[in-house]
Amino acid sequence: MSRLVYVMLLIILGLTSGCGLNSLPTLDEQVKSSWSQVENQYQRRADLIPNLVATVKGYAAQEKDTLLAVTQARAKVGSMQVDPGLINDPAKLQQFEQAQSQLSGALSRLMVVVEKYPDLKSNQNFLALQSQLEGTENRISVARRDYIGAIERYNTEMRTYPGKLWHSWLYSELKPRDAYYEATAERAEQAPVVNF
């Protein structure tokens, strides 16, 4: 009899291994991993900013307000407590994203200041830093896209069969994620007008 029970357990295990039993925990881990990549890119940007500010400061000492805004925005982002639970708390996630948005805005203003200083624009250190920063902004965008995709797959699995069954039976502690990004810039839905 014990051999029959053992064989039945092996058959049940074999049948359930391909039916999505582990899909929700796997997708939950993908969401967490994707968010870690977003944080990684934000950290990369934060690490580049002191060098960028120092380089610009050498050329544009009179632009103290803009440099101060960048430094303060970076400090605000750096002072926020970022822990794995952040993605489970929509209010904290929104605060974090607002701080990141303020930093992006300050960096945009810094790039406008740079246009006033032709010598700075030809400086190799600045060009390298600007390129790194542009690449980082692109990486942030890609990391956000991947995070949104991971949330979409996770929520879809949780709301469709058989994932819905596994969620109600085995993974009821997992909650749907609600952290999609929204445009933060004013009038972001309108294309900018360029006049020559």
Q: Which residues contact 57 (CB under 8 A, 6 or more apart)?
A: 67
Count of other CB atoms within 10 angstroms of residue 84: 10
- Report CA 180 to chain centroid distance, whole Å: 10
Mind listing the pLDDT tens digit of every residue in the chain (196 residues)? 678 877 777 676 665 556 677 888 999 999 999 999 999 999 999 998 888 888 887 777 667 788 888 888 988 888 887 777 788 888 888 888 889 988 988 888 888 877 777 777 668 878 888 888 899 999 999 999 999 999 999 999 999 988 888 888 888 999 998 766 665 555 545 544 433 2
Give the per-residue SS3 of 58-87: HHCCCCHHHHHHHHHHHHHHHHCCCCHHHH
Q: Phi and psi at residue 190, in whole multiples of 5°?
A: -100, 135
Tell me the CA distances in angstroms from 72 to 46, 50, 102, 128, 182, one per residue in order: 12, 11, 10, 23, 24
Two tokens at 142? 């890609």
Q: To the nearest whole percent, how much of the chain has pLDDT over 90? A: 24
Measured CA to CA, the distance from residue 131 to residue 106 in angstroms comes to: 17
pLDDT at 182: 63
Measured CA to CA, the distance from residue 74 to residue 36 in angstroms comes to: 19
pLDDT at 40: 92
pLDDT at 12: 67
Cα of first residue to Cα of last residue in the chain, in angstroms, is: 86
pTM above 0.75, yes or no: no
129 near 51, Cβ under 8 Å?
yes
